[in-house]
Chains A and B, each alone.
Chain A
């Protein structure tokens, strides 16, 4: 019996070399997945037909029709009956905006993608430093950790939603999943529907410092900002143990205040006593199953290289690079005509995510950026577009409180 596309994609996510971008395999899987989604996802099939695109004519991943993120607000985009979904993740939204919904038949692809990218870009340096950091190896769970060479446990502090409290939040699933997989027994959550618990975080950080246990703070940008502001008001600074790090997720353009990434990183660095390379950022969205990391940690699979090619690519840009995993491709498209632009040109990001097995793999975002084969630069969601994303979730909660 021939192997189904979903059976082929999972091992690809789990085993494809993180630094090699095998275009042939990606293309084969992407086209096959497109055929599968065209056949099984009636709404997507309708969208393709509107554009007069037939599967037989699609031979390369770039030709696969993309669905706008806004479509997720309107209709279920799934290759299975929506009521059979194992999980439904909702986009953040204000009271004026309807939430988009991403239906999952299974979370195994999401989980595999999540763990592999996170381990590669947020924990890459730990393999050789476990002894120095005093980390405990959780042998009994080695088999569950995607990279058995780095079976690490860190003290994880969450400043964002958890799956227990926010069952429809993809970020909640991610934070909880990462804590369960990589967190030690003293990991804790300092975020609730009512508030960000800065006092609790402070005590936990003090304890970790006394025990010289490196910590990993994962939070939305707004929740982190709130804590930093509280700590600044009390003139409180930390010198976190070596190896500690912070991952922020979500944009910096919130309704509450706007800070540049530079300012934000300076504040984090000064408040927590961390070098800049230990400040990580994640870019993801509910409509995807994969996340992309900006990381300068030692031993990460990819490094930002000075790109070669056309002159505009060589131009200095202050924007941070997010690395792509090998099961994802990103292009920028011309905002007016949605035509694919050459690598490195500024446009709206269109993302092809093989881990979106049971929905739609090609997503047209409203995010502005540049894309290359292995990375993207997020310029941002330009002013005027609606606020969405993880930072908004924090704010929505803060407003509800």
Chain B
């Protein structure tokens, strides 16, 4: 793990496309459950190691994470039951206040599968209340 003032590199995490979870995810998002959903890696971004860092950051600054944008770019398809390595880079921006999560998925033989970008706007609780 590497860390500097604004970047935190995590992983790799060895994760699997769990067939049951992938089917449930697909059915909850309108799919047929016959293949791994494109958006399935979103479940990996909720891994406790990553989620705790985000939750700690939000608690310490009294902010609410608001999902601003999300992207998935694939070079290979995810396969049900297969294991992959997930590499994560967290980037903290201050103007505006954001947390950018860049994730790279590779096969266990180091072939690129996908890149994912999640941008969370960190909105102070009081401002969120005033805007809504």
Partners in one complex: no
Give A residues with C-beta under 8 Å from B: none
Q: Which residues of B are at the interface with A, using a C-beta cutoff of 8 A?
A: none
